[in-house]
Amino acid sequence: MTLNTHPALPAFEYIRPATLAEASNFLSLHPDTARPFLGGTDVFVRMRDGFMTPEFLVDVKNLDGTNELRFDPEAGLTIGAAVNMNRVAASPDVQVHYPLLAEACRSVASYQLRTRATIAGNICNASPAGDTIGACLVFGGALHIHGAAGSREEPLSTFFQGPGKTTLRPGDIVTAIHLPLPPKDCAGKYMKLGRNQLSDLSIVGVSALAYKDSTCSSGYRFRLALASVAPVPLMATEVEAYLANNPITLDAIHEAARLAMEACSPIDDVRGSARYRKQMVRNLSIKALTEVWKKLG
Ligand SMILES: Cc1cc2nc3c(=O)[nH]c(=O)nc-3n(C[C@H](O)[C@H](O)[C@H](O)COP(=O)(O)OP(=O)(O)OC[C@H]3O[C@@H](n4cnc5c(N)ncnc54)[C@H](O)[C@@H]3O)c2cc1C
């Protein structure tokens, strides 16, 4: 038996459409054989490893507006699909208004990889381990999508259908991610547990956001998203409800973290067992919730 230690990319045709309409049209005409790509950091690895063999790769990096990163003090942040993670993390607007997103971007692999990798690609890849997805979820993000039938906006909360599965249809191209204005004086924290500190997918990822909210009986709202512990990136809504309705104490945070652990349904894999993941969800949730609580003062 020969072991192929240097697998190569299978042959494919590179398509560079001039407009979004052209790209959508091509993708909808070749639903089983064409694939859009941005940084290619997921696509090329999956092709090299034989999990994906598209005949056509459609480059959607340079299409109308997909390179823009825009902050509007009323509308919030719009991140063009082709904007790479280093650009997001270095943006003064992101650092001031969405530091949790910058933190999540910086947790992904290495600086070199992040010059290619995009948040849109991270989202469309729909891995439950995607590090930037939790921040987009807790900020209440939505996707701008250009499809064969025109443009639409879709909330991220209903976008994920399973590992690698989303609501995208043939011809759909995500053009931007939109995050509304963050709640006033909110505090965020991303905690990632990987096998090493440098460049690994998360065994568990916890994104926490907290802010004062007079509509909750506790006076505070905590939003928690969990990575790598369910078939989809998970919003732990039980945590939000519990902490909205109970006075915030250390005991309440411990109970909320236990609820987060109960909400997840992880698998055993090479990076960690299901049991370990559950324990780590509880431990990291305690840390993340305590940290954002302290930041709120
Ligand atoms: C060495 C290495 C380390 C990594 N480490 C991490 C890590 O620590 N954390 C992490 O979360 N990820 C990690 N990844 C995974 C990867 O880098 C990220 O998921 C990245 O964000 C993908 O972005 P991209 O632009 O490269 O996507 P691409 O590879 O271009 O595309 C990803 C998927 O999205 C689809 N797609 C792309 N663009 C669009 C579009 N506009 N509309 C609709 N569908 C689209 C593609 O068809 C594909 O299925 C790592 C990858 C490598 C190779």
| Separation CA 264–CA 281 (nearest Å) | 8
**Separation of CA 285 and ligand 1 centre (Å):** 26
Find out whether the beta carbon of 43 lies less than 6 Å from any atom of ligand 1: yes
What are the tens digits of pLDDT across the range 101-141? 999 999 999 999 999 999 999 999 999 999 999 999 999 99
The confidence score (pLDDT) of residue 194 equals 86
Residues 52, 46 contacting (CB under 8 angstroms): yes
> What is the chain's Cα-based Rg?
20
Count other Cβ atoms within 10 Å, centred on residue 45: 12
Find out whether the beta carbon of 108 lies less than 6 Å from any atom of ligand 1: yes
What are the tens digits of pLDDT across the range 59-94? 999 998 899 999 999 999 999 999 999 999 999 999
**Separation of CA 127 and ligand 1 centre (Å):** 9
**Separation of CA 292 and ligand 1 centre (Å):** 29
The confidence score (pLDDT) of residue 5 equals 65
* Per-residue pLDDT tens listing for the chain (297 residues): 555 666 789 999 999 999 999 999 999 999 999 999 999 999 999 999 999 999 999 999 999 889 999 999 999 999 999 999 999 999 999 999 999 999 999 999 999 999 999 999 999 999 999 999 999 999 999 999 999 889 999 999 999 999 999 999 999 999 999 999 999 999 999 999 988 766 678 899 999 999 999 999 999 999 999 999 999 999 999 999 999 999 999 999 999 999 999 999 998 888 889 999 999 999 999 999 999 999 998
The confidence score (pLDDT) of residue 89 equals 98
The confidence score (pLDDT) of residue 6 equals 64
- Closest atom of ligand 1 relative to the 131 alpha carbon: 11
**Separation of CA 178 and ligand 1 centre (Å):** 18
List helix spans (H) across 76-132.
85-90, 92-97, 99-106, 111-114, 119-125
pTM of the model: 0.96
**Separation of CA 125 and ligand 1 centre (Å):** 6
Q: Look at ligand 1, atom 44, and give the residue with the nearest C-alpha.
A: 124
The confidence score (pLDDT) of residue 297 equals 84
Tokens of 199: 């460049």
Instruction: Please spell the DSSP secondary structure of 229-293, one letter per residue.
Output: SSSS-EE-HHHHHHHHHS---HHHHHHHHHHHHHH-----BTTB-HHHHHHHHHHHHHHHHHHHH
Find out whether the beta carbon of 27 lies less than 6 Å from any atom of ligand 1: no
The confidence score (pLDDT) of residue 2 equals 56
> In 3D, which of 188, 183, 176 has the Cα closest to residue 95?
188
> In 3D, which of 275, 261, 51 has the Cα closest to residue 164?
51
To test the pocket of ligand 1, the residue of 24, 28, 38, 87 to mutate (highest count of ligand atoms within 8 Å of its CB) is 38
The confidence score (pLDDT) of residue 143 equals 98
